[in-house]
Structure 1
Amino acid sequence: MNTELKKELPALKEQQDFYVNLRSKIANYLESKTGRASKLSPYLLFAPDLFHLLVKAMLDNRIDTKSKTLIGSGILYFITPIDILPEGLIGPGGFIDDIIVAAFVVNMLLNKFSPEIIEEHWAGDVKLLTALKKIAETSDTLLGKLPARSLLGRFIKTSKKA
């Protein structure tokens, strides 16, 4: 299987601009809907951070093909319009399920690879392990308030056993 990229990646500055732009759009949307930052804002802003990490990890040649399949699944969940909480219907709040799935994938990577390898790809404002801890601590609370909680809750419980 040929794993080389067919096109050159955009320049690092262009990638960073896209990431910053996406993060700004989410923050501005949350601000415009509530007039102030929502309680979920810090968690929803993990979405572009986690997506960025998954994409960068996918391109890391130190990560094996089997792990890249898992990473690819996490990326696909982000970009697929049909998921448990679709962003198209409920706005950035729809990233909650994407964040939980991405956190699961990143935790699996951290169990297999050195944290330094994974943290190289983290662009968030807080340390990666701190972000994952916040997501884990609040996921049960957030899931309890969601209509899709039983399905997503089953996924989380299954993943914790793995």
Structure 2
Amino acid sequence: MASFHYSFQKVVDLKASQKTQAEWVLSGALGELSTQEQNLYQLRQSQAEWEERLHQATTQAVPLSDLLVIGQYLDHLQACIERKLEDVQHAQKAVDQCRSKLADKMKDEKVWLKAKDRAWESFRHALQIKEQNELDEMATVRFIMPSP
């Protein structure tokens, strides 16, 4: 029996490899986004703690210089949060781009897999016709042969 050999198998393999690479890149981008979001969360937690310290300091007798230091540190934290928000936005854009590229790679691979499936079906159909013709020929030869 003949075996199926798809002439564009290397292209199919390449498309699958490209899809896998796109998945890895997306995974890395998602990891970076998660890291940036975690850092932003920590900055916001720190800001909330320092705001609570400032609130407690205003209810107690605390030197003005301490209040100024806390205020300056809160300003610094706010600036860090704004920068981190930009980092999160950049990371989100990178994730969106990676998802888009992955979707394209998946579509491309699917096109080639469908072409391979069509070639397989064509091969299988041709093989069935060949087998049927051989069976028909055997039946014809038996019919024509005289009985002993």
TM-score tier, shorter chain, comes to under 0.3
TM-score normalised by structure 2 residue count:
0.25
Q: Which structure's relative contact order is higher, taking Cα pairs within 8 Å and 6+ residues apart?
A: 2
Name the one with the larger helix percent. Answer: 2
TM-score normalised by structure 1 residue count:
0.24
